[in-house]
Amino acid sequence: MSGRELPVEQVVGCVDENGEVRKVSLLEAESLVVIERSAGPVTEVAYGSPSHGHKMLASRSAYAHVLGVSLEQVVWALGDFFVVHGEGGGAEYAQLGSLMDRFDAAGEKYAYIAWDGDSNVAYRGPQGE
C-alpha cells in the first residue's frame, strides 16, 4: 500500500420520484470524474435495463474552460451545473449528456464510460489522442 488516500465520491444531486432514482456525483482523482447513475422504470425504457450508469473523465482545466470558471471553482461549478432550479423553487437536474455536449462544442477532450445492470460496458477514449 502506497499510503495514498482513495478519492472520495461527492454527491451533487439526487432525485427520487415515482420509482425512478438518479444520482450525480463527482470523484476527484488524476482526472475529475462526473458520474451519473439511474435506476427505475424510465431507465428501463430508455436503456433496456433497470439500471444504467455513465461517467466522463477530463482534466480540471478542460472543465474550467467549458464552464467558464477558474481551476479553483470547478467542483463548485459542476455542482451548480447539475442543479437547475425550477420555476416553483424546486430543483431539477441537468444530465451528463448536456455537459458532454458543451465539451464537444468547446473542442475539449474527455473519456466516456457507460454500463448497465447486465454488466455491459461501453468506452470511448479521449478524441484526438
Sign of CA dihedral 63, 66, 72, 77: negative
The pTM (predicted TM-score) of the whole model is: 0.79
**Distance separating alpha carbons of residues 112 and 125, to the nearest angstrom:** 6
pLDDT tens, N- to C-terminus, the chain (129 residues): 455 665 678 887 777 888 888 888 898 877 899 999 999 999 999 888 899 999 999 999 999 999 999 999 998 898 888 876 555 555 556 788 889 999 999 999 999 999 887 677 777 777 645
Of 72, 73, 57, 53, the C-alpha closest to 109 is: 57
**Residues 40, 20: contact at Cβ < 8 Å?**
yes
Alpha-carbon distances, residue 111 vs 1, 36, 39 (angstroms): 27, 14, 23
